[in-house]
Structure 1
Amino acid sequence: MSFDHPYLDLGASPREDDLLCLFDVTPAEGVSMEKACNALAAESSIGTWTDVGTLSPDLRERLKARVLSIDKSRVCVAYGACLFEPGNMAQIYSSVAGNIFGMKDVRRLRLAAISFPEALRDAFPGPGMGIRGIREALQIFDRPLVGTIVKPKIGLSPKEQAQVLYEAMASGCDVVKDDENLTSQAFCPFEERLRACLDATRRAEDATGQAKAYIPNVTAPTEVMLKRAGQVSHLGGKVAMVDLVTAGWSGVQSLRGVGFPLILHGHRAMHAAFTRLPDHGIAMAVLSRSARLAGIDQLHVGTAVGKMAGGRAEVLASIRALTSTGRDDAPDTVPQNWKGTAASMPIASGGLHPGHIPEVLAMFGRDVILQFGGGIHGHPGGTAAGAKAVRQALDASLAGLSLEEAAGSAPELRTALDAWKGGA
């Protein structure tokens, strides 16, 4: 330990009950790396900008965060579990991703990885359904799930929304969801839309003989959100969607804790405000690990091939964060023991069309929801043809056929490949 920088404990090992964070730190001009890291650890645990008489040396030693290593810009900080309220994700983030982002001692700061010790991990519920429960609910065990988002994202009436949903489900989609900014606007009130879409879902199940799921967006102030989730459950729905960043950790945990037997679908709208920059903000994999613990069953993680920013490495890191069992100690992270925590289903979504399916499957494997918006509804033949084209592309890929080969006997796929041959 340095007397000039009392929060530096370089070369020390983490304790069994430590919450570990990896930060990428860019000090402000004229500030040494050691000073910046000391300030980071102090501000995110028990220190402040100056000495205070109420902070005894003994108290600081017991509760301070410790900087264990500095490797160029990559910094490992250990936090004793006693710093955190078990089961309170909002409080944890207020500490490790709070005031530190506004400190003058750092010019750029990124929370690149996080791991939760056993005591904190077990205080969170984790997914209520997880991959296994999702597959059981839809009786699909051997392939990815296929979904779509109703387009246009807002503006349709409940009747129109239900009609688009039915066409997609009857033509091959397993799940159909609201978009992230559709809640209960005047043109499409929530309860009216819910009833219409669940009725259309049942009709699609009867027509196809296959289980289907409508995913309504219940995001709202917490009390309203819980009421909407209750309506979904009462009316026989299987899934509820929450915009987890805008609703916040408390909203997500309240939705999980109320106990409705629903699959929780996490949309990540607004995430790029803090995940997009490579040297500042919070990594998507950090959000993914935390969402899994908080109770999200399935989560958007990007595609690396569609319209959204986010490269292959970032997407793979989020897939691992959601699906790893046992111990996840992949490079560029801090080890996480997932013992007893169900795996969440990753969702590939954002600018996908049928031609992307082989590449997406190579990244995600079979435990994924392939979710298309414009890639279904933008098909020249309309929604039904778009859904058929996606299923044709998926079936061909799973059978080991090239899409060009399959398109010879699949006219909807042929049209899709021709329409989007230039990419997304």
Structure 2
Amino acid sequence: MAQPTSPRRLLGRGSWPEASRIAEILRKETIGGALLLAGAVLAMAWANSPWSGAYEDLRDTKVGPGALHLDLTLATWAADGLLAVFFFVAGLELKREFVAGDLRDPRRAAVPVAAACGGVLVPALVYTAIAAGAGDGAAKGWAIPTATDIAFALAVLAVIGRHLPSALRTFLLTLAVVDDLLAITIIALFYTSDLEIGPLLLALVPLGAFTVLVQCRVRSWWLLLPLAVVTWALVHESGVHATVAGVLLGFAVPVIRSDRAGGPDAGPGLAEHFEHRFRPLSAGVAVPVFAFFAAGVSVGGLSGLGDSLSDRVALGIVAALVVGKTVGITLATWLVARFTRADLDSDLNWLDVLGLAILGGIGFTVSLLIGELAFGLGSERDDHVKVAVLTGSLLAAAIAAVLLGLRSRAHRSICAAEEVDADADGVPDVYQSADR
């Protein structure tokens, strides 16, 4: 006799190994978020102080070998170089989620992927509708509000959402990683100028060698790091944004541990090994340093702030982050539930999804990067973009903090249940129930 199938659940708790791994990632990204905010605040304070000239001189200082066309400003090194580390970790995380994590089940993967797509498409439409009449190439900024800042959003969630169910945290992290991948794809396709095919084809040589070595489970940094640097340099020379190299290198790393490499007792697989090594560098150094060089815009007091936000490009960014992200993520999640006939998990309700969608409107790191690519670093419109991204992100964070703070109180009992381990086997009892 056929067993009755259990009803499909949207945003269920998932497995304990995945939940514990996500919790560890959240702790590291939360610290990174605090450092990111510190870097941004320091940059804003310095850029609006009597010593703003020193900040601009530091940001525009050029270093690097000119013969290799790598005599770049410190701001460019932060955007092109350090953010490649950030996207390398994002590539590792995304591949791990879909190859070995809970999202290898297409039914579970559909929700964050659809939400990320909705969170890219709707903000782009909102921005375009508002900025359409601004002229002067304003349409080039359509992708600015498309990405959620992982570190910033998780830092807010850690402060106000301590009692939210783990499924929501996993959902936010996965959504942010997926839309980072969508953002880097957009950068590669729409923000590449003067494409040089030669260096791009040459980049395949060190990338291929890197891939072969990691597939053979080689971990020697003195072999892998030079290949990664050469790949990055050639991609940079080709005109494609160099952060694309970080994602490609991350995708090359194997996730599943090979039995030939020593079996299950041989230690973590390469993806886990590299993620453990590079995530602190990404969250603790790469992103905060980029924030320091990218967020330093002279506002010019309240009148200057008003002038910046009167630009339709800036208004479009703020509206897209606060409204577009909320509508896009929530609507896409609802459509998945509607067309798959899945019910929201019994521990959650749609206010939780709405709160997470609003939190997804925190677009900082990648938004600032795309703003520089669209309008040029240091241009007047780029300054307006920075003000708008900061304003929209802070508004989204404040609104989400209120809603998720209230929901966190309501979920206090669920959070307590997730910590109960009556049989002392190291796995909370709720993860051992059937239907989870």
TM-score range, shorter chain: under 0.3
Question: TM-score, with normalisation over the residues of structure 1?
Answer: 0.23
Which structure shows the higher helix fraction? 2
Q: Which structure has the larger Rg?
A: 1
Question: TM-score, with normalisation over the residues of structure 2?
Answer: 0.23
